[in-house]
């Protein structure tokens, strides 16, 4: 029944110790996740009515269904922005689940805030692609190295047996 029963990332996490290093990591994380002063200023201008109007436009204008699932970056952004923008947390509290589902709320949020956060999200996508490519390239290099080593070891054992065969024939 309690809010902590929800498994998805919006429950409170225990506060740890470590003041100075924690604030430095938070500033870097804020930059990475696009939680900028400009975004926070924009979020102060939002109201529940803005979300309701956007929901009506989405229902009327487009019938295509989005998956509704947030990416890992979007989840991290959502958790951080809720902790930084109390106004957004209040709007979410007012709207969900009475007026709209949580997934729908976040879909609308990311559409409304797109111009503020899209460069950061694109950068995160690019970093993830580079990381995947590096991982794949690293794996392929390891596989090639192992194959070459195996062929060399097979070749050396074949050459030894052929030398023994030649000596026995003489």
Gap between the Cα atoms of 113 and 109, Å rounded: 6
Mean pLDDT, range 79-99, rounded to an integer: 95
Contact partners, residue 96, CB within 8 Å, separation at least 6? 102, 105
Asked if 113 contacts 80 with a C-beta cutoff of 8 angstroms, the reply is: no
Domain assignment present for 101: yes
What are 114's two structure tokens? 């797109």
Does 4 map to a domain?
no
Q: Is residue 12 part of a domain?
A: no
Give per-residue pLDDT as tens, 119-159. 999 999 999 999 999 988 876 555 555 555 555 555 555 44
Number of domains in the chain: 1
- The pTM of this model reads 0.65
Is residue 60 predicted with pLDDT exceeding 90? no
Residue 56 resides in a domain = yes
Residue 142 pLDDT: 57
Confidence at residue 1, expressed as pLDDT on a 0 to 100 scale: 42
Q: Which residues contact 112 (CB under 8 A, 6 or more apart)?
A: 46, 50, 51, 54
The reported pLDDT for the residue numbered 100 is 93
Any domain includes 30: yes
Range of the domain at 104: 20-169
11 within some domain: no
Tell me, yes or no, whether 13 lies in a domain.
no
Residue 117's pLDDT band, with cuts at 50, 70 and 90, is very high
Residue 112 lies in a domain: yes
* 114 against 23, higher pLDDT: 114
End-to-end distance of the chain based on CA atoms, in angstroms?
Answer: 89
């Amino acid at each position: 029944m309690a809010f902590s029963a929800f498994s998805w990332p919006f429950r409170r996490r225990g506060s740890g110790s470590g003041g100075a290093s924690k604030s430095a990591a938070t500033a870097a994380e804020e930059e990475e996740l696009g939680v900028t002063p400009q975004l926070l200023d924009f979020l102060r201008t939002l109201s529940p009515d803005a979300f309701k109007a956007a929901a009506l436009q989405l229902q009327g204008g487009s019938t295509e269904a989005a998956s509704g699932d947030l990416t890992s970056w979007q989840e991290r952004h959502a958790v951080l922005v809720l902790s930084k923008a109390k106004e957004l947390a209040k709007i979410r509290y007012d709207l969900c689940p009475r007026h709209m589902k949580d997934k729908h709320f976040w879909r609308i949020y990311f559409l409304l805030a797109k111009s503020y956060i899209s460069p950061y999200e694109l950068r995160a996508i690019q970093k993830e692609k580079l990381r995947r490519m590096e991982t794949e390239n690293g794996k392929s290099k390891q596989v090639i190295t192992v194959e070459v080593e195996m062929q060399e070891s097979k070749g050396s054992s074949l050459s030894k047996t052929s030398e023994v065969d030649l000596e026995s024939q003489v």
